[in-house]
């Protein structure tokens, strides 16, 4: 089984780590190339490029200038324990058992505009670069163009022909994968909450649900779609009716 999730804008470099283990990003040379481009952008350029505030632009200008390799535990931190948004609140990664951290390292992959593809224990430095940012890198017109083949090929190397591949990333990030050349089908669960008389996707809850399902997958022996349908964290359950209506794998509460 392989799982993909999105990164988060919020980062935490202060909380004590639950493990001393770490690994290195596969595409660190590519990250350096992207950062070389970012370093040429002053705070105003970053503000206009990323549609961010002056304060956040200044913060990330400094981050880009301070990016340095080689990575080590003194200047970088494992990705799963650094990203700090709603998905990661749902995973609650700091309470994962040692065995499930190892399972995550083998099966969980985090998509990233700067790093491409991160394993949970891959070291990363602070950054802000969403996949949808219209940043040209060399002959590549944007980050999708830059990362598409690299990420898809990397996943194909890891995936077995009959392996479950579960997409819990946002559309912005999962769109970087070339589904036409991916060797397996991508299963993309949908999470809906009942509000004002109907089931609908509510962004905050859906993000947290993607994190909770990630944890469910790490804590249970999931080998099939039927196993996946047993997801029941946070009050969600599989809805055959909603799934039939939308032709997707829908979980509701």
Question: How does pLDDT run across 239-248, given as a tens digit for each residue?
Answer: 999 999 888 9
CA dihedral over 35, 8, 101, 207, signed as positive or negative: negative
pLDDT (tens digit per residue) in 44-97: 999 999 999 999 999 999 999 999 999 999 999 999 999 999 999 999 999 999
Residue 200 near residue 193, CB atoms below 8 Å = yes
Q: What is the pTM of this model?
A: 0.96
Query: Alpha-carbon dihedral of residues 82, 86, 90, 94, nearest 10 degrees?
Result: 20
Residues 6+ apart with CB under 8 A from 104: 80, 93, 96, 120, 218
Closest CA to 186 of 195, 196, 175: 175
The two tokens of residue 55 are 């304060």
Q: Given the structure tokens 């304060």, which residue do they identify? A: 55
Closest CA to 35 of 63, 76, 13: 63
The two tokens of residue 34 are 């992207």
């Amino acid at each position: 089984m392989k799982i993909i999730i999105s990164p988060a804008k919020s980062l935490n470099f202060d909380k004590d780590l639950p493990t001393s283990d770490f690994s290195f990003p596969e595409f660190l040379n590519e990250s350096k190339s992207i950062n070389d481009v970012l370093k040429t952008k002053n705070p105003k350029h970053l503000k206009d490029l990323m549609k961010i505030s002056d304060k956040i632009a200044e913060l990330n200008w400094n981050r880009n200038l301070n990016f340095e390799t080689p990575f080590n535990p003194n200047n970088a931190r494992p990705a799963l324990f650094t990203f700090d948004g709603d998905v990661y609140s749902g995973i609650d990664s700091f309470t994962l058992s040692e065995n499930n951290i190892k399972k995550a390292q083998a099966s969980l992959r985090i998509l990233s505009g700067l790093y491409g593809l991160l394993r949970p224990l891959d070291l990363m430095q602070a950054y802000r670069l969403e996949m949808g940012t219209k940043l040209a890198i060399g002959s590549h017109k944007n980050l999708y163009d830059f990362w598409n083949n690299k990420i898809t090929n990397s996943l194909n190397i890891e995936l077995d022909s009959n392996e479950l591949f579960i997409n819990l990333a946002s559309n912005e990030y999962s769109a970087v994968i070339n589904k036409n050349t991916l060797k397996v089908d991508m299963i993309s669960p949908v999470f809906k909450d009942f509000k004002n008389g109907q089931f609908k996707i509510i962004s905050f809850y859906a993000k947290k649900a993607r994190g909770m399902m990630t944890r469910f997958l790490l804590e249970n022996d999931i080998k099939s779609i039927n196993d996946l349908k047993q997801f029941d964290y946070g009050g969600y359950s599989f809805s055959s009716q909603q799934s039939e209506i939308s032709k997707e794998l829908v979980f509701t509460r």
